[in-house]
Every structure is written in structure tokens, then in C-alpha cells.
Structure 1
Amino acid sequence: MKNLQAIAIDDELFALEVAKNLLKEIPFITLTACFTRAVDAISFLQDNSVQLIFLDIRMPGLSGIEFIRSLPNPPMVIFTTAYSEHAVQSFEMDAIDYLLKPFSFSRLLKACNKAFEFQQMKDNSRQLLSDPLPVLFIKSGTEQIRVDLADLRYVESIGNYMKLHLHEKPAVTSRLTIAEVEELLPTNLFIRVHRSFIVAREKITKMDKRSIWLNETEIPIGPSYQSEIERLLKSTPK
């Protein structure tokens, strides 16, 4: 796999210099540009492809949170900030990691490894989508578990873990977020129905306004997903 192309955004020049020097020691990260204002990075991202952003949160003008929300298809994000109170909000936005300044090289390396592993899974899933029976390799503990998508019935978010429920096989548990799993799964085969559930389309046996059933398994439909589910299911070829 090629290096991750990254940018850094921080209103403090000293913080950017620290990031530059530390990232030089990580061989699979290429820092292509640095910005002291988030708005200046918007035009750069329109013309350049990056997989990862190192992003401060509290900045004058456009904050880091506001900046990410403004992007239609944001890349992976590692937040770098001196303020711990934003941690919950950053993980709700599916950030790869959250680094409190001043952070050590080992802590930065750990965050970068997480981004690299997730990008590998995304690349592998795209490559496998052309196979007759696509598969994923999901990290569970220290192992990479093969998951045949034909066996995957639904995905459930339980606390800090994702549980992949399979047909006649033990479920696979991983520390991925539901947004990360959704990114890995082909949209023609799976559909998000709730903030905590993704289901296999072909496994749906019935549905009403509140629930979807996979045989005897009832799964709730989130209110914000209802209209999209109805539209997508109507457009799915029978």
C-alpha cells in the first residue's frame, strides 16, 4: 500500500513544526501541506486527494469541528488539541483518534497506525467487490478474521465494539466504529437502518414503519433513516 497523503491544520505555527518533525519519522505518512487556517485548506482539498488530516479543534474563524462538517466527503481525521472536553464530540464524528497536546512520538505513531490499518481495510474491500463472493478481513483482538459477506446478516453497535452477526457462524467482534464498518461494506448489498444497525438487504424478510425483520430477528428503524430506507428498497431490483 502507498503512503497515506496527509495535511495538518493548526493555528499555532509551533504546533505545526512539531507535527512536521515527528511525522518525518513515520515512513508511511507523507505530509503534503500545512495550514494555520482551516478555510485555506478547503481549496487545497478541492484540487488534491488526501487520506488523513491532523486537525486542531479550537481555531479562530472556522473551528476544526465546523471544518470537518463542511466537507461533503471528509477523509480520516486525527484531532490534535490541548482541550480534553472535545473528546466525546470528536469520536461522535468518527475520528480515527484524539491526541492531547503535548503528545509523544509513540502516541502519534499509535494514531497513525490506526489510520493506516483502516485505509488498508478500505482498499482491500474495494478490491474484493468485483469477486463473485466478496470477503472482508476484520480485525478482532490481535487477529484478522475472514468475513464472507454472503454470511453477514447484520452489524450491531454495542458500546465501543461492533458485532458482526453471521449465518450459522459465531459473531465477530471488533473495535471498529459503525461508520468505519459502513465504509467497508458495499452499498448495493448493505443498508444502514439505525444509528446502531446495518443490515444485509437480501436478508430482509419484511418491514414496517418501525422495524425490519431478518426472519425472526427484529431490528429497529431509526427515524432519520426511514425515508431513505423506503426509497432505496423500492429502487432495489427484485
Structure 2
Amino acid sequence: MDSIKAIIIDDEPKAIQVLQRYAEETDIVEVMASFRDPVKAIGYLQQNKVDLLFLDINMPKLTGMEFLNILEQKPKVIFTTAYSEYALESYDYNNVDYLLKPISLERFLKAVAKAQNLIFPEITLRSNPPKEIERDKTIYIKSGPQLYKINTKDILYLEKEGNYLTFHTKTKKILSRQNMKDIFELLSTEEFIRVHKSYIVSKRHMEIIESHQIGIGSIKIPVGRSYREQVMKIVG
């Protein structure tokens, strides 16, 4: 299998060491070079073909975004940073993923898998033939003495209120004494995403996605700080 030829650009030596160690754990990523100075990396890229950049955002001479603006030919990019506030801006650069430091091996491998799918799509298709589209799912929700049959495609979002959950659907609201965690496990993660300790939203009904809120019609749903990274992956 072809390897992903990558370089690391980060002004922190420890961050470079972590990424190099993670890359060695795979048989996919070949780190060709690493740079603490982004200006030197520009010269390398002018002379060498690279598939993927692991690129820090907050660096002294050039930010990661400024660095990309200089490049005429842009490889795929996985941003690495300690600051979540850059997430929304980073998606203007068509990045593969956005890794928040400290980066775990599991999170690194997920990002690399996404990069592999984009860089070698023909291998991905051979290895993972398209699955059938999941059919709409029906669930039953108890509210007081009544039992409601709900098609998951009709659910807009769920809102936690004390010991109760409100199911906001296209036509009605259903109040049920349910545990948020149990309900999220019941719903398909392909269809729904948890965006806040008190909110689960339907991906198909999201109209506006921002780092701090989701728009569904006229409703604005807050995005919790710890959920921002996974929310922004939706637009990646």
C-alpha cells in the first residue's frame, strides 16, 4: 500500500516528537521532514512532493493560515493546535481535520484515516464498498401513560430539562422521563450528534453550523466547549 508522505510544521519540539512517534505506530504515514520554522518548510515544499501537512496554527513567524496562503500548491492539511477558537476559520482552508493538543493516539489515527480516504480514494473504495443507506428508524417514547411512535427523521433536536427530555419534532413536543446517555445510544450516530450536555441535534435538520451554536430554523442551540471539535468535524 502507498504511504502518505507527510511533513510536520510546529514550533514546539515536544509536539513534533509526539506526532513523529504516532506516525511510527502506523504503516500509513511516512514523515519526510519536520520544521520548527515555517519559512524553511516553504523551501522544502517547493522542491519535494508532499501529500499531507501536520500544521500548527499559532507560530511566531507565520500562523498556519498565513503559511497556507503563501503556498501555490497546497497539500492536504491536518491542523494541530492548543486553541479551539481557530476551528471555524480553519475550515475555510479545506482541511482534513483539526486536532486539539494534547493529541491522543486514537484521535491521531482517526485523522490519518480521513486523510487516507482523501489522498487514496481508490484504495478506500476497494477496501470499504459502499454500504446501503440506513433506513429511517422508528423508536417508541413513553410520556406519562402514553407511548409515542416516532420516526427519527422527524426529530429536530432533544433538550434536557432536569430529569426530563423534550423531543422536539416537526409537529409536536414530547416530554419524557429519560436519561440523555441512554437515548443517545438508542439513536443513530449517523443521524444525530450531541452538541451540549443538554442538547442532541439531528444532523439532517441543521441549517447553520457555528463553533458556538447550531441553527435549526429559527431555533439557536448552544454548542458546549467540550463538544466544539466534533461539531466542526461535520463541515470538514
TM-score range (shorter-chain normalised) is 0.5 to 0.7
Distance, in Å, in 2 between the alignment partners of 1:107 and 1:45 is 26
- Partner AA of 2:28 in structure 1: F
Question: What secondary structure, in the 3-state scheme, does the structure 2 residue paired with 1:7 have?
Answer: strand
- After superposition, the Cα gap between the structure-2 partners of 1:2 and 1:101, relative to the gap in structure 1 and judged at 3 Å, is same
Aligned residue for 1:116?
A: 116
* Structure 2 residues not aligned, in runs of 5+: 134-206, 210-232
Mapped to 1, the partners of 2:15 and 2:23 lie a distance apart of: 12
User: Aligned partners of 1:109, 1:142: CA distance in 2, in Å?
Assistant: 22
Written as runs of structure 1 = structure 2, the 5 A alignment for 1:213-228 is none
SS of equivalent residue, structure 1 residue 80: strand
Deviation at 1:143, TM superposition (A): 2.9
Aligned to 2:131: 143
> 1 CA distance for matches of 2:56 and 2:6?
14
CA distance in 1, matches of 2:52, 2:43: 16
Q: Quick one: structure 1 residues 36 and 90, their matched pair in 2 at CA, closer, same or farther if it must change by over 3 Å?
A: same
**Structure 2 vs 1, CA of residues 141 and 80 (structure 1 numbering), >3 Å: closer, same or farther?**
farther
Amino acid at match of 2:74: P
**What is the DSSP-based 3-state SS (H/G/I as helix, E as strand, rest coil) of the residue aligned with 2:120?**
helix
Q: Report 1 or 2 for greater relative contact order, CA contacts < 8 Å, sequence distance ≥ 6.
A: 2
Task: Please report how far the alpha carbon of residue 91 of structure 1 lies from its aligned counterpart in structure 2 after TM superposition.
Answer: 1.2
The size of the alignment, in residue pairs, is: 140
Residues 142 and 91 of structure 1: is their aligned pair in 2 closer, same or farther, counting only changes over 3 Å?
A: farther
1:36 counterpart = 2:22: no
Following TM superposition, by how much is the alpha carbon of 1:26 offset from its aligned partner in structure 2, in angstroms? 1.3
Letter in 1 for 2:34: C
Letter in 2 for 1:104: S
Distance across 1 between alignment mates of 2:131 and 2:91:
24
The CA distance in 2 between the partners of 1:58 and 1:141, in whole Å, is 39
Corresponding residue of 2:11: 11
The corresponding residue for 1:229 is: none
Specify the alignment match of 1:67 in structure 2: 67
- Answer yes or no: is 1:91 the counterpart of 2:91: yes
With over 3 angstroms needed to count, the CA separation of the structure-2 counterparts of 1:144 and 1:79, relative to structure 1, is: farther
Q: Look up the match of 1:22.
A: 22
User: What is the alpha-carbon distance in structure 2 between the residues aligned to residue 38 and residue 144 of structure 1?
Assistant: 44
Instruction: Please report how far the alpha carbon of residue 144 of structure 1 lies from its aligned counterpart in structure 2 after TM superposition.
Output: 8.7
After TM superposition, give the deviation of residue 159 of structure 1 in Å.
Answer: 6.5
RMSD of aligned residue pairs (Cα, Å): 3.2
1:34 and 1:83 mapped to 2: Cα distance?
21
Q: Relative to structure 1, is the Cα distance of residues 98 and 61 closer, same or farther in structure 2, using a 3 angstrom cutoff?
A: same
Matches of 2:36 and 2:53, distance apart in 1: 13
What's the offset of the Cα at 1:23? Answer: 1.0
Note closer, same or farther for the CA distance 1:5–1:94 as it changes in structure 2 (3 Å cut).
Answer: same
* Local SS of the residue matching 1:143: coil
Deviation at 1:50, TM superposition (A): 0.5
Deviation at 1:37, TM superposition (A): 1.1
Match of 2:216 in 1: none
State the Cα deviation string for residues 141-160 of structure 1 (Å, max 9, x = none): 96399xxxxxxxxxxxx868
**Where do 4+ consecutive residues of structure 1 move more than 4 Å?**
none
Query: Residues 58, 141 of structure 1: CA spacing in aligned structure 2 closer, same or farther, 3 A cutoff?
Result: farther
Report the equivalent of 1:133.
none
Larger Rg: 2
**Residues 71, 102 of structure 1: CA spacing in aligned structure 2 closer, same or farther, 3 A cutoff?**
same
Q: Match for residue 176 of structure 2?
A: none
* CA–CA separation in structure 2 for the residues paired with 1:117 and 1:55: 19
* Separation of aligned partners in 1, 2:132 and 2:63: 37
